[in-house]
Amino acid sequence: MFCLLKFKPSCSAFLTSGKYNSAIDVILAAIKLLEQQQDIYQGRLQEIQRDAQIGQQASERGEVVDGATAMAQIRANLRSRDRE
C-alpha cells in the first residue's frame, strides 16, 4: 500500500529542524501525543465521574447546601488562599 502525504509548510518545519529523521517519525510522535492526551482525558473523566458520585451520595444523605451558600464558601476559600 502506498500513501502520499503532503505536509503544510508549518508541518514541514518539523522535518527540517533535525529533530525527526522522516515524515513517519513525525507521524509516530503525533500519534504518541494523541494517545497521551486520550489517557489524560480518560483519567480526568474518571475523576469527574467519581466526584459526581460522591456528590450524589452526599445529596442523598442531605449533606448539601444551596447554590448561594456554596458560592460564598468558594469565594471565602479563594480569598483565604490569596492572603497566604
What's the confidence (pLDDT) of residue 50? 95
State pLDDT tens for residues 3-48: 777 777 777 777 778 888 887 888 899 999 999 999 999 999 999 9
C-alpha cell at 4: 502520499
What's the confidence (pLDDT) of residue 35? 97
What's the confidence (pLDDT) of residue 1? 65
In 3D space, the residue among 26, 10, 9, 7 whose CA is nearest the CA of residue 18 turns out to be 26
CB atoms under 10 Å from CB of 26, counted, come to 19
State pLDDT tens for residues 42-64: 999 999 999 999 999 999 999 88
